[in-house]
Structure 1
Amino acid sequence: MKESSAVEKPLAAAPAASPIPMPSKDAVEMPSSKLQQQWNTKNLGLRLGADFASAASAASMVAPLIAIIDRSIMENASGRNTLANSLKSSLGQLLSRPHTILFSKPAALIFMLYGGTYLTANTLDTATSTVRSEPASHVTTGTTKFAASSAANVGLCVYKDQVFVKMFGPGGPPRPVPLPSYVLFTLRDCFTIFASFNVPPLLGPVLNERMGAALQKKISGTTVAQFAAPAAVQLLSTPVHLLGLDIYNRPASGGVSWGDRWTQVRKNWAISTAARICRIVPAFGLGGTVNMKVRRSLMEKLS
């Protein structure tokens, strides 16, 4: 057989696959370093402790007085006692036997209410400063803070109110608090929370612009707003509060008309508004200022 003249050429060797480049150490660590740049986690545990300490110190200062005022408003609304006599009796007890007020159930409920509200606002500020890499002393405003603070305050305050109305109501066996009272108490607290946490940071700079430099050295516009805004909103929230109390004190089954209820609200509006302003100034004025300043002082040391 005749051999083929074509010479078979060997197959060319396939080119060697280039090695897969291994990520460098810097590339592996990039997500972690990037996360550290985006989140401010410095002294996070201590910052949360500062949130609690500032909330507790503010709540402990205001709880006894607010408990006394709340009791007097509820006893006056229920006809159980006059507001003046209730205040006189409780304040006398505070001076002669302070432990019976300081460690009472009403004072503990008020401490729980405002301590929980301040703590919610504080921890939200800390969470925001952590996620957005802001300084530890950063304070937020806006819808999120309003919603979180309102949820905490309303939940705790509704629980406090249903205990208080049973303790200081018209007497007789305690009754369930009706739903309309809960709704009105919730609306009342939303007014107060908005005026206490959202208005001062917005109103403070406006007041600073209108205050002279000499006056600003003595008191800041934010401090003025912290006291004035929660007090002013009581003109609107007090009738809502009194109507909620009247619905509990005089059930609809008793044949009470809405006209009768508004007559009762108007009757107690002026004195109750004055008492609630005296109550709200320590609650969100003094308490809010103490909470804000203690927290800022602690956070500046932890930054």
Structure 2
Amino acid sequence: MQAQIEPQRQRSKLSELGLGLSIDCVAALATSAAVSPFVAIIDRSIISNASGRMPLMAGLADGFRTLATRPSVLARQPSVLAVFSVYAITYITANSSETIALSTNSDPLLPKFIASSTVNIAACVYKDKLLTHWCSLGPARPFPMSSYGLFGLRDSLTVAASFSLPPFLSAALQSNSSLSKTSCDSISQLALPCMVQFISTPIHLFGLDYYNHPSATVMQRVQVVKRDFIPATLARMGRILPAFGFGGLVNNKTRSTLKQWIL
């Protein structure tokens, strides 16, 4: 009898894991569809401003006007499709790595961070290379290794602030305040990705400037970063809020709701 029960348990666990991974994918795709238009508009506007092609506010106004009046046109634009792909595979990786780790009774924190950061950094750097080519003046030039490295550093900070650090901040808030766990989770998920932009935005601007002005001196690059720091930081906060702030909340809520219904 025991020999018959054990295979049944294994099949049940595999079936539950398969359903869990399917839910992870559905939540990731839904979240990516919700956030990608906003993220693409802001990404494109920052890059166009850095290259001198279009001022930041003009780019934002044009993008959000298109979103409001012709959303189907915006959804088909290469920049939106590129951003959708990045966040779809990032959230799928983060969700599925957590589900797999929990299915083996392992702590999901480290595997989730390693998997999601590796995928997100590679995909984001490639996406920003494409956007830089599409949104800059003149013909596309070879992408400098320094820009690759700076974009990679920028994205590793974002991933840490979006996926790995919110649980620690939430736990600290719960221990030192009367707020509920849900409130602490929401505050942490929204605040940390925004706050890290004060560090990652200058890195982003340096990376863009290495492409836009390959022969510039260090001081010239510093002046460009100082000039664009405040508007670009605010724009990137506005970008990261839907991508990993509200996006993280939507992803988590969708996963938990579907698992309550299905599992």
Note whether the superposition's TM-score is higher than 0.5: yes
1:300 maps to which residue?
A: 260
**Following the alignment from structure 1 to structure 2, what is the Cα–Cα distance between the partners of residues 166 and 58?**
27
Per-residue deviation at 1:103?
Answer: 1.9
Report how many aligned residue pairs link the two structures. Answer: 262
**Matched residues, percent identical?**
39
- Structure 2 residue corresponding to 1:79, chosen from 36, 39, 52: 52
Within the alignment, does 1:269 sit opposite 2:229 as a pair? yes
- Structure 2 residue corresponding to 1:175, chosen from 136, 141, 146: 141
Unpaired segments ≥5 residues, structure 2: none
2:202 maps to which residue?
A: 239
Structure 1 counterpart of 2:151, which letter? F
Do the aligned residues in 2 keep the contact of 1:150 with 1:190 (CA within 8 Å)? Answer: yes
1:193 maps to which residue?
A: 159
Within the alignment, does 1:146 sit opposite 2:119 as a pair? no
Structure 2 counterpart of 1:296, which letter? S
**Following the alignment from structure 1 to structure 2, what is the Cα–Cα distance between the partners of residues 192 and 224?**
16
**Following the alignment from structure 1 to structure 2, what is the Cα–Cα distance between the partners of residues 83 and 248?**
18
Runs of 4+ in 1 over 4 A off after TM superposition: 34-37
Residue by residue over 1:39-97, the C-alpha shift from the partner in whole angstroms, topping out at 9 and shown as x without a partner, is 94342222111011000111111010111001110011111111011111111222222
Name the SS for the 2:53 alignment partner.
coil
**Following the alignment from structure 1 to structure 2, what is the Cα–Cα distance between the partners of residues 291 and 98?**
22
- Structure 1 residue corresponding to 2:214, chosen from 251, 261, 273: 251
Per-residue deviation at 1:208?
Answer: 2.1
Residue by residue over 1:245-293, the C-alpha shift from the partner in whole angstroms, topping out at 9 and shown as x without a partner, is 00001113xxx11111111111101110000000001000011110011
Per-residue deviation at 1:35?
Answer: 10
- Structure 1 residue corresponding to 2:89, chosen from 116, 120, 136: 116
Q: TM-score with structure 2 length normalisation?
A: 0.93
**Following the alignment from structure 2 to structure 1, what is the Cα–Cα distance between the partners of residues 142 and 248?**
32
Cα RMSD after superposing both structures: 2.1
**Following the alignment from structure 1 to structure 2, what is the Cα–Cα distance between the partners of residues 140 and 285?**
20
Within the alignment, does 1:96 sit opposite 2:74 as a pair? no
1:20 maps to which residue?
A: none
1:106 maps to which residue?
A: 79
Q: Which has the higher helix share?
A: 2
1:5 maps to which residue?
A: none
Larger radius of gyration: 1
